[in-house]
Amino acid sequence: MELRVSRQAENEIVIEITGEDDTLGNLIAKEAMKHPKVVYASYRIPHPLQNRLEIVITVEKGVDIGEVLSEIVTNIKNILADFRKEVESKI
């Protein structure tokens, strides 16, 4: 996986990820939309023959987008950790 910020403004960021597909893009976009300070979040795959995706996240004015992004990633990690514990307890 290779990650780069392709565009960043005061309240919007576009992150390009190479080596990933819809699975990661959908996970991040959906979790971002649950965040109370996120106004808009989506992902797209610019071209089906290229192995990359773009994630767009827009936050409310005056909100630190880096902090929000960090909270989104932490929430995903916690969800996956809980899922792992549940699976391990059942197997």
Q: pLDDT tens across 13-71, in order?
A: 999 999 998 999 999 999 999 999 999 999 999 998 888 999 999 999 999 999 999 99
Task: Give the start-to-end residue ranges of the domains of the chain.
Answer: 2-90
* CATH superfamily, with its number, for domain 2-90: RNA polymerase, RBP11-like subunit (3.30.1360.10)
Amino acid identity of 86? E
Write down the H helix ranges in the chain. 22-34, 65-90
Output the pLDDT for position 84. 96
Task: Tell me if 16 sits within 8 A of 54, measured CB to CB.
Answer: yes
Output the pLDDT for position 48. 87
Task: Tell me if 25 sits within 8 A of 53, measured CB to CB.
Answer: yes
